[in-house]
Chains A and B, each alone.
Chain A
Amino acid sequence: MTTMTEPTRATTQVHSIYIRATPQAIWDAITTPEWTNRYGYGGYVEYDDFTPGAAFRVHASEEFLEAGAPDVIIDGEVLEVDPPRRMVQTWRMLMDPDMVKEGFTRLTYEIDSREDGSTKLTVIHELENAPRLALIVGGGMEDRGAGGGHPWVLSDLKTLLETGGRLAG
């Protein structure tokens, strides 16, 4: 085996999951506040419109507000959209000043039906110059109470859509 100098970790994360649900159900679960407060970190998503340039934000859940979170915890802008198959948007977490400073990252949702009736959901998060956010959304801060990032959110979303319930705990 050769040894080579490790460059820094790539700044793109790819998270993919198969869910027994329609593309429309998955699209709704990602883009409507009635659904987004029911899995993962919770909170109420708000898209001004599904057109390029439309603003996007996530309002903190009651639980987050009590813990001292700002009213808007994530913001961004729609870049490309093709409901219920694909959306590219910018994405910035506003939970603390360090993450605000890291600026906007780029998030892509790809929703593809499979022959067996299930749907493949892929979340591609381009995290250039956002090492702090990358750690959190990659699940690297879970033992410090920051939740399990995209893998945890997607696992919880799958459980919700397939069983109507949440993961235990």
Chain B
Amino acid sequence: MTDDDRVFKALADPTRRFLLDRLFVRDGRTLTELESDLEMTRFGVMKHLRLLEEAGLVVARRSGREKLHYLNPVPIRLIHDRWIDKYTERRVSALTDLKKELEA
């Protein structure tokens, strides 16, 4: 699996997107905090967090005795730069071309 595949797979699940949204609101959360937002076992949340970590979307760092989870926006940025920009630019230029043609 490529890095992109891992990111798309991680984003394909609503619970994992929910976890990312929680971290977007406030970064640096413990498993216990994240778990309290979900009706799911601790083990289930851990599994989702592991997939997010493997995709690079979440980075876990130790702070004293705690393990804190941070949202890493970089893989989404890479997808944006690689995929979104490419297609939106083409659409914009297609519209510009159309406008030129209509005005000619």
Chain B residues near A10 (CB, 8 Å)?
A: 26-28, 70
- Alpha-carbon separation in the docked complex, A120 to B43 (Å): 27
Chain B residues near A159 (CB, 8 Å)?
A: 81
Give the nearest-CB partner of B39 in chain A.
A1
A68 at the interface (CB under 8 A from B): no
Give which listed residue, B56, B72, B78, contacts A155 with CB less than 8 A: B78
Shortest Cβ gap from A21 to chain B (Å): 15
Chain B residues near A122 (CB, 8 Å)?
A: 59
Are B37 and A1 in contact (CB-based, < 8 A)?
Answer: yes
Give which listed residue, A7, A13, A17, contacts B70 with CB less than 8 A: A13
Are B56 and A167 in contact (CB-based, < 8 A)?
Answer: no
Q: Mark B66-98, 1 if CB is under 8 A from A, else 0.
A: 000011111111100100011001000000000
Question: Given contacts A2-B36, A2-B37, A169-B85, are A13 and B74 in contact (CB under 8 A)?
Answer: no
A151 at the interface (CB under 8 A from B): yes
**Number of residues in B with C-beta < 8 Å to the partner?**
25
Shortest Cβ gap from A159 to chain B (Å): 8
Question: Given contacts A155-B78, A158-B78, are A15 and B73 in contact (CB under 8 A)?
Answer: yes
Shortest Cβ gap from B5 to chain A (Å): 14
Chain B residues near A152 (CB, 8 Å)?
A: 77
B46 at the interface (CB under 8 A from A): no
- Alpha-carbon separation in the docked complex, A15 to B77 (Å): 11
Are B28 and A12 in contact (CB-based, < 8 A)?
Answer: yes
Are B59 and A14 in contact (CB-based, < 8 A)?
Answer: yes
**Number of residues in A with C-beta < 8 Å to the partner?**
30
Give the nearest-CB partner of B80 in chain A.
A155
Give which listed residue, B25, B27, B56, B71, contacts A18 with CB less than 8 A: B56
Are A154 and B74 in contact (CB-based, < 8 A)?
Answer: yes
Q: Mark B26-38, 1 if CB is under 8 A from A, else 0.
A: 1110000000111
Could you list which residues of chain A lie within 8 angstroms of chain B, going by C-beta atoms?
1-2, 4, 6-10, 12-18, 122, 124, 138-139, 148, 150-152, 154-155, 158-159, 167-169
24 pairs, A vs B, C-beta closer than 8 Å: A1-B38, A1-B39, A2-B36, A7-B26, A9-B27, A10-B70, A12-B70, A14-B59, A14-B70, A14-B71, A15-B73, A16-B56, A16-B72, A16-B74, A18-B56, A122-B59, A139-B77, A148-B77, A151-B73, A151-B77, A155-B78, A155-B81, A159-B81, A168-B89
Could you list which residues of chain B lie within 8 angstroms of chain A, going by C-beta atoms?
3, 25-28, 36-39, 56, 59, 61, 70-78, 81, 85-86, 89
Q: Which 4 pairs, one residue from A and one from B, show the smallest C-beta to C-beta distance?
A: A10-B28, A151-B77, A14-B70, A10-B27
